[in-house]
C-alpha cells in the first residue's frame, strides 16, 4: 500500500473500518417504486412486468422509458492499473469502482454499478462488455492499463451506440484542457504559439495531447517523452499510439526539451522536474505536475526559482487541483439526458470550456467554506473550479448536452436549455425546486428588505445574496466601517455597493421616534426612552423602517433567540386584526414537505 501524505488524516485501520461499517462496501440498491401491497408486487414483477417487456421487444428505445437504462452507468475495470497501485487484479479494484459509483450518485444523481472483469485479454474484455452493454446508458472504463485501454475503448465505441468513456484518459484531458485555457489567458499567450512538453506517454498523456490540439495547440509544438526520453521519428519500439507524437528533433532528454518551453504537463513520476529545468522555461511558464501522490515537482520548489509560474497538481493540498471529479459525473449526466450515442470531441471541448468559464466567475459560499473561509478569485492560484462548486451540476451537463445535440449524436432533444439547467440543480437538492418557485415570484415584485444585524457575517452574506440574485434591494443596519470590513473579510471589495443605515441618521431617527412614541407613550415610556430604544435596538430600528414605509420587510433573528426578536418586533408592529404572530419553518425532504409553525405569545 502506498504511503499516505500527512494531509490525509486517516490510518489504515480507519480506512478499513469505513468500508466495513454497517453494510460492507459503499453501495446498495434500493427500489424507486413503492412495494407495500400485493398489487404493487404484481405491477413490479409478475404479471404486470410483461407489459413493458413486450413494449421493449417491439421498440428497444422504450427501454429508456420503462427501465433504469437511461440513468444507469457501468463502472468497469480489470484491475490492471489501479490508481497509483498498479496491477493488483480485478477483485482488488472493486473498492475503487464502488467509490466511483458513489461519486456518480453524489455529484450527478446517476445510478452506477461496478463490474470487475477478471481477465487481461483485451478481446475477451471487449466481448464481455459488448454482451452486457445494452443494459446501460453508458460505460465508464477505469484503471485499465495502456495500450489495452485504447483498443478496448475504440472497439466498444465502434460496436455499441452508448457513451463509452475511459476516464483515466478523457477525464484528465478535459480538466487539464480547462486549466490550460485559463492559464494561457492569464499568461497572455495564444494556444497556436506555445511550445508544450508532455512528460509521460500513457493513456492520460496521449488523451491530453489530443484534446490540446482541439483547443488550438499545434501538433508540431508538442514534444512528448516516455521512460526512454523524447519520442522522435526513427526511434525504435514506438507503438502506433505514441508514434503520432514522434517529431523530427535532435532533442533526447527532458532537460533538452524543457528549454524555452511555455508549458510542462507531467503525467509521469515524482521529482523528474528540477529547479534548473524550471529556470530554463519561457517567461510566465505553465507547469502542470499531475503525478500522484507526489508531483513531478512541488509548487513550493517552483516558487523558489520562478515568481511568474502558474502551477497545478493532482493534489488537494495545493491550489489548482486537476481532479477528474470536476468532469466525469457531469459529462455523463449531459450525455445520458440527451441519450447520446457517444461522447465525442465536441462534447469534451464543450465540457472543458464550461469548466474554464466557471473558474472566471465569483464563487459561492459553498466554495468559500471548502477553501477554509477564503474566497478564491480567478488568477494564478485559481484556474480550476472547486469540486464543491454547486454550479458544476448545471453548467457542464448543459454544455455537453448542447454539444451532443449540435453535433448530431443526441437521440433526444432538450427544448429549453435554461429550464434544463434548473432541473439539474433540483436533482441534488430537493429544496431548490421550491426555492426557485418562491424566487421566481419574488423577482416579479422585487421588494426592499432590511437586514437588521448587518455586521453579522451570515446576515451580511444573506443581504449580498439577495442583491446578487436580483430578488430586490437589500438595506443593512450597522456601523458603516464595520460593515465594510466584514464585506472585505467575506471576499468582496470594501467598495461593494450595498445600502447601509444606522441611527446616526438624525432625520430618520426623529421620524421613527415620533411614530413609535405615539404608540408606546401610554405604556409609561417617555419620548427619550423611545429614542433610546430606536438608537440601541436594531430590530426596533428595522421594524420602524417597515412601519414608516422605508422598507417592505425585515430579516432578523440571526444573533438573538426567536422570543427576544419577537418582543422587540411587537413594540413597533401589530398583527392584523383577527390574526396572530407566528414563526414558520419549511422542512423539505425528498419524499414530502412539512410546514412547521410556532405561535408567539399574545
Residues with catalytic roles: 45, 100
Task: Look up residue 217 and give its three cell numbers.
Answer: 495547440
Burial category of 254 from C-beta neighbours within 10 Å (exposed 0-12, middle 13-18, buried 19 and up): buried
Q: Which of 349, 351, 310 is nearest to 327 (CA)?
A: 351
Task: Look up residue 381 and give its three cell numbers.
Answer: 492560484
Only one residue has cell 413594540, namely 571
User: Taking a C-beta distance cutoff of 8 angstroms, is the pair 473, 448 a contact?
Assistant: yes
Alpha helices in 521-561 (DSSP H): 527-536, 538-547
Q: Which of 152, 155, 132, 136 is nearest to 144 (CA)?
A: 152
Give the E-state strand segments of 193-326 in sequence order: 196-199, 222-226, 229-230, 263-266, 286-289, 310-313
Alpha-carbon span 73 to 102, nearest angstrom: 11
Q: Which of 181, 223, 177, 224 is nearest to 200 (CA)?
A: 224
Alpha-carbon span 237 to 244, nearest angstrom: 13
In which region does residue 268 sit, left (phi positive, over 0), alpha (psi from -120 to 50) or beta (all else)? alpha
Residues pairing with 451 in the sheet: 476, 555
3-state secondary structure 500-527: EECCCCHHHHHHHHHHHHHHHHHHCCCH
340-377 exposure pattern, b = at least 16 Cβ within 10 A, e = fewer: bbbbbebbbbbbbbbbbebbbeebbbebbebbeeebbe
Q: Which of 121, 26, 128 is nearest to 74 (CA)?
A: 128
Task: Look up residue 275 and give its three cell numbers.
Answer: 529547479
* Farthest-apart Cα atoms in the chain, separation: 101
- For CA atoms 75, 78, 84, 85, give the dihedral sign: positive
Only one residue has cell 448587518, namely 454
Stated length of the chain: 602
* Helix/strand/coil for 310: strand
CA angle, residues 310, 392, 135, in degrees to nearest 5: 120
Q: Which of 238, 246, 282 is nearest to 264 (CA)?
A: 282
Only one residue has cell 468559500, namely 368
Element (H, E) at 115: strand 111-116
Give the CA radius of gyration of the chain: 30
Alpha-carbon span 257 to 282, nearest angstrom: 12
Cis peptide before 293 (omega within 30 of 0): yes
C-alpha dihedral, 125 to 246 to 328 to 297, nearest 10° = 120
Only one residue has cell 502551477, namely 311
User: Taking a C-beta distance cutoff of 8 angstroms, is the pair 198, 205 a contact?
Assistant: yes
Amino acid at each position: 500500500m502506498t504511503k499516505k501524505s500527512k494531509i490525509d488524516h486517516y490510518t489504515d485501520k480507519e480506512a478499513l473500518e469505513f468500508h466495513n461499517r454497517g453494510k460492507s462496501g459503499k453501495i446498495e440498491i434500493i427500489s424507486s417504486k413503492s412495494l407495500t401491497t400485493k398489487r404493487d408486487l404484481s405491477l413490479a414483477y409478475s404479471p404486470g412486468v410483461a407489459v413493458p417487456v413486450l413494449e421493449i421487444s417491439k421498440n428497444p428505445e422504450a427501454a429508456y422509458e420503462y427501465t433504469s437504462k437511461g440513468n444507469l452507468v457501468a463502472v468497469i475495470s480489470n484491475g490492471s492499473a489501479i490508481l497509483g497501485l498498479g496491477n493488483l487484479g480485478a477483485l482488488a479494484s472493486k473498492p475503487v469502482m464502488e467509490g466511483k459509483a458513489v461519486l456518480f450518485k453524489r455529484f450527478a444523481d446517476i445510478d452506477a454499478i461496478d463490474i470487475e472483469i477478471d481477465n487481461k485479454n483485451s478481446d475477451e474484455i471487449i466481448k464481455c462488455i459488448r454482451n452486457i452493454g445494452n443494459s446501460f446508458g453508458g460505460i465508464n472504463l477505469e484503471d485499465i492499463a495502456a495500450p489495452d485501454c485504447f483498443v478496448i475503448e475504440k472497439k466498444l465505441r465502434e460496436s455499441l451506440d452508448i457513451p463509452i468513456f475511459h476516464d483515466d484518459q478523457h477525464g484528465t484531458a478535459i480538466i487539464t484542457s480547462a486549466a490550460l485555457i485559463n492559464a494561457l489567458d492569464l499568461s497572455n499567450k495564444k494556444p497556436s504559439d506555445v511550445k508544450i512538453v508532455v512528460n509521460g506517454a500513457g493513456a492520460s498523456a496521449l488523451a491530453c495531447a489530443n484534446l490540446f490540439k482541439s483547443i488550438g495547440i499545434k501538433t508540431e509544438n508538442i514534444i512528448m517523452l516516455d521512460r526512454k526520453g523524447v519520442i522522435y521519428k526513427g526511434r525504435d519500439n514506438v507503438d502506433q499510439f505514441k508514434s503520432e507524437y514522434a517529431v523530427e528533433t535532435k532533442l533526447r532528454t527532458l532537460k533538452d526539451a524543457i528549454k524555452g518551453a511555455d508549458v510542462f504537463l507531467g503525467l509521469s513520476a515524482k521529482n523528474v522536474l528540477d529547479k534548473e529545468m524550471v529556470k530554463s522555461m519561457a517567461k510566465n511558464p505553465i507547469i502542470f505536475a499531475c503525478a500522484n501522490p507526489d508531483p513531478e515537482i512541488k509548487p513550493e520548489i517552483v516558487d523558489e526559482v520562478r515568481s511568474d509560474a502558474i502551477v497545478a497538481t493532482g493534489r488537494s493540498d495545493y491550489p489548482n487541483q486537476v481532479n477528474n471529479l470536476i468532469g466525469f459525473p457531469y459529462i455523463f449526466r449531459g450525455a445520458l439526458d440527451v441519450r447520446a450515442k457517444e461522447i465525442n470531441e465536441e462534447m469534451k471541448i464543450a465540457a472543458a470550456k464550461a469548466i474554464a468559464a466557471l473558474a472566471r466567475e465569483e464563487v459561492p459560499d459553498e466554495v468559500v467554506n471548502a477553501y477554509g473561509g477564503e474566497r478564491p478569485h480567478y488568477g494564478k492560484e485559481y484556474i480550476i473550479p472547486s469540486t464543491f462548486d454547486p454550479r458544476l451540476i448545471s453548467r457542464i451537463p448543459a454544455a455537453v448536452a448542447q454539444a451532443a445535440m449540435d453535433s448530431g449524436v443526441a437521440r433526444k432533444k432538450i427544448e429549453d436549455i435554461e429550464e434544463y439547467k434548473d432541473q439539474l440543480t433540483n436533482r441534488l437538492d430537493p429544496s431548490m425546486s421550491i426555492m426557485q418557485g418562491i424566487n421566481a415570484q419574488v423577482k416579479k415584485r422585487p421588494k426592499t428588505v432590511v437586514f437588521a444585524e448587518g455586521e453579522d457575517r451570515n446576515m451580511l452574506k444573506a443581504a449580498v445574496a439577495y442583491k446578487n440574485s436580483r430578488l430586490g434591494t437589500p438595506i443593512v443596519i450597522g456601523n458603516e466601517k464595520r460593515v465594510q470590513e466584514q464585506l472585505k473579510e467575506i471576499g468582496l471589495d470594501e467598495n461593494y455597493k450595498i445600502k447601509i443605515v444606522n441611527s446616526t441618521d438624525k432625520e430618520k431617527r426623529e421620524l421613527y421616534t415620533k411614530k413609535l412614541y405615539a404608540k408606546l407613550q401610554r405604556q409609561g415610556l417617555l419620548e427619550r426612552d423611545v429614542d433610546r430604544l430606536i438608537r440601541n435596538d436594531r430590530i426596533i430600528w428595522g421594524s420602524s423602517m417597515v412601519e414608516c414605509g422605508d422598507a417592505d420587510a425585515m430579516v432578523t433573528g440571526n444573533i438573538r433567540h426567536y422570543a427576544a426578536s419577537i418582543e422587540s418586533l411587537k413594540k413597533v408592529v401589530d398583527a392584523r386584526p383577527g390574526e396572530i404572530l407566528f414563526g414558520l419553518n419549511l422542512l423539505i425532504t425528498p419524499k414530502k414537505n412539512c410546514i412547521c409553525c410556532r405561535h408567539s405569545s399574545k
